[in-house]
């Protein structure tokens, strides 16, 4: 089962479908392969290291960030189904060039997640989110991009590890495809992924411990206690690449946390192109995602690059940390 066939068969569920949506996902799978080609030879060609640019969040823009950003934009700007795009690496909206047709959909993406790991050859990824436009017509607007995550019509991520994966959900389950380089096709390898209800793996940058609120410190202390009956102590796994940590959590269960702290009260991650698409995926796999209290997908974004704390993973684990943060434990 190739990704292309899976997308087309998924479309047949919608008699009103026009093929636009499939074309969008096809475009993304091509962009994925183009980025993967560059990632796999990163150590051999001059694409490691930094540009002299900082993005709107104050992160150094890596050469591969820039390459991935431009590659996804160029793969998608002419498909004729988008009215606007937005990405982590661009302060403002990415408008569709005038000489290309405008469409009904909105694409938002984090071109390369886990940038700090690029030069160390550790798994990185890309994240995408698709909405229907809400503005009447013509060029897309900020209103089209600042929709709550529950309005997504699809989301997914690309995983650049020792193999490359394309994981997506378009409302009918979460499915993972692995690239078979010998045929250049994504083949279904993980059908209808369901996250375990609970899990004894936690993923957080404990280096920020001193800056956390006491309730968060108590939660981490609790899961590190020795109690076989409740699966404690949990094991710590943290790669520094959100996509990789969430992918593992999706398959093995557990929880990924990026809490707010005294330095970053809203945490480090961005609501619109990191939290929302991953929350959509994890919820559709039976998991949960919140900012510690509010469901991520219910948060109304105010700005494109706003930050939000993220607690995502097995439903029982997200519920547990929320109880601590609410002072109920």
Return the residues of window 79-108 that contact ligand FBP according to CB under 6 A. Answer: 88
Q: Which of 4, 20, 38, 59 is labelled catalytic?
A: 59
User: Based on the number of CB atoms within 10 Å of its own CB, is 4 exposed (0-12), middle (13-18) or buried (19 or more)?
Assistant: middle
Closest CA to 198 of 225, 232, 226, 169: 232
Q: How far apart are CA 39 and CA 5, in angstroms?
A: 26
The alpha carbon of residue 58 and the mean position of all alpha carbons in its chain are separated, in whole angstroms, by 19
Answer yes or no whether residue 115 interacts with ligand FBP by CB under 6 A.
yes
Give the residue carrying structure tokens 């150094």: 60
Q: By three-state DSSP, how is residue 59 classified?
A: coil
Per DSSP, helices labelled H in 242-314 are 242-252, 276-284
Considering only 8-16, 18-26, 180-188, 236-244, which stretch makes contact with ligand FBP by CB under 6 A? 236-244
Question: Cis link prior to 47 (omega < 30° from 0)?
Answer: no
Write b or e for each residue in 175-191: b if 16 or more Cβ atoms lie within 10 A of its Cβ, otherwise e. bbbbbeeeeebbeebee
Among 18, 116, 163, 262, binds ligand FBP (CB under 6 A): 116
Active site residue 65: yes
> What is the smallest separation between the CB atom of 70 and ligand FBP, expressed in angstroms?
16
Answer yes or no whether residue 63 interacts with ligand FBP by CB under 6 A.
no
Closer to ligand FBP by CB, 241 or 314: give it: 241
Q: Which of 274, 275, 291, 322 is labelled catalytic?
A: 274
Answer yes or no whether residue 205 interacts with ligand FBP by CB under 6 A.
yes
Among 102, 129, 241, 308, binds ligand FBP (CB under 6 A): 241
Answer yes or no whether residue 113 interacts with ligand FBP by CB under 6 A.
yes
Answer yes or no whether residue 262 interacts with ligand FBP by CB under 6 A.
no
Answer yes or no whether residue 240 interacts with ligand FBP by CB under 6 A.
yes
Give the single-character DSSP code of 270. B
Active site residue 77: no
Antiparallel, parallel or unpaired: β 235-236 and 288-290: unpaired
Q: Which of 11, 69, 77, 113 is labelled catalytic?
A: 113
Closer to ligand FBP by CB, 29 or 55: give it: 55
> What is the smallest separation between the CB atom of 310 and ligand FBP, expressed in angstroms?
9
User: Based on the number of CB atoms within 10 Å of its own CB, is 243 exposed (0-12), middle (13-18) or buried (19 or more)?
Assistant: buried
Closer to ligand FBP by CB, 110 or 317: give it: 110
Using an 8 Å Cβ cutoff, are 272 and 281 in contact?
no
Using an 8 Å Cβ cutoff, are 325 and 310 in contact?
no
Answer yes or no whether residue 268 interacts with ligand FBP by CB under 6 A.
yes
Q: Which of 11, 110, 261, 283 is labelled catalytic?
A: 110
> What is the smallest separation between the CB atom of 134 and ligand FBP, expressed in angstroms?
26
Q: Which of 11, 65, 77, 317 is labelled catalytic?
A: 65
Number of residues forming the site for ligand FBP (CB under 6 A): 12
Per DSSP, helices labelled H in the chain are 3-12, 20-40, 63-76, 142-145, 214-223, 242-252, 276-284, 315-325
Look at phi and psi of residue 67 and say left if phi exceeds 0, alpha if psi is from -120 to 50, else beta.
alpha
Kindly report the backbone phi and psi dihedral angles of residue 146, in degrees, each rounded to the nearest multiple of 5, phi listed first. Answer: -90, 50
Answer yes or no whether residue 59 interacts with ligand FBP by CB under 6 A.
yes
Active site residue 92: no
Binding mask 120-159 for ligand FBP (x = CB under 6 A): ----------------------------------------
Answer yes or no whether residue 165 interacts with ligand FBP by CB under 6 A.
no
Among 10, 27, 103, 114, binds ligand FBP (CB under 6 A): 114
Which residues form the interface with ligand FBP (CB under 6 A)?
Answer: 59, 88, 110, 113-116, 205, 240-242, 268
Residues carrying an active site annotation: 59, 65, 88-89, 110, 112-113, 274
């Amino acid at each position: 089962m190739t990704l292309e066939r899976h997308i087309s068969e998924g479309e047949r569920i919608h008699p009103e479908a026009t093929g636009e949506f499939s074309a969008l996902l096809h475009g993304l799978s091509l962009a994925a392969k183009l980025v993967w080609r560059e990632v796999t030879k990163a150590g051999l060609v001059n694409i490691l290291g930094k540009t002299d640019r900082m993005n709107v969040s104050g992160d150094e823009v890596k050469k591969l960030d820039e390459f991935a950003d431009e590659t996804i934009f160029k793969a998608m700007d002419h498909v004729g189904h988008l009215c606007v795009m937005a990405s982590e690496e661009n302060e403002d909206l990415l408008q569709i060039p005038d000489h290309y047709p405008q469409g009904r959909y909105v694409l938002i993406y984090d071109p390369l997640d886990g940038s700090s790991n690029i030069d160390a050859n550790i798994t990185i990824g890309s994240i995408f989110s698709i909405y229907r436009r809400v503005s009447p017509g013509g060029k897309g607007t900020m209103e089209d991009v600042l929709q709550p995550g529950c309005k997504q019509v699809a989301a997914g991520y690309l995983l650049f590890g020792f193999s490359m994966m394309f994981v997506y959900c378009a409302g009918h389950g979460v499915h993972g495809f692995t690239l078979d380089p010998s045929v250049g096709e994504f083949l279904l390898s993980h059908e209808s992924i369901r996250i375990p209800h609970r899990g004894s793996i936690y993923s957080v940058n404990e280096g920020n411990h001193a800056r956390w609120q006491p309730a968060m410190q108590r939660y981490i202390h609790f899961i590190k206690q020795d109690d076989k009956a409740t699966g404690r102590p949990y094991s710590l796994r943290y790669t520094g690449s959100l996509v990789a940590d969430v992918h593992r959590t999706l398959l093995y269960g557990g929880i990924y946390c990026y809490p707010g702290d005294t330095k970053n009260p809203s945490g480090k991650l961005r609501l619109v192109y990191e939290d929302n698409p991953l929350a959509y995926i994890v919820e559709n796999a039976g998991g949960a995602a919140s900012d510690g209290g509010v469901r991520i997908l219910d948060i109304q974004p105010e700005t494109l690059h706003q930050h939000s704390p993220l607690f995502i993973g097995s439903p029982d684990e997200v519920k547990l940390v929320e109880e601590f943060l609410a002072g109920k434990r």
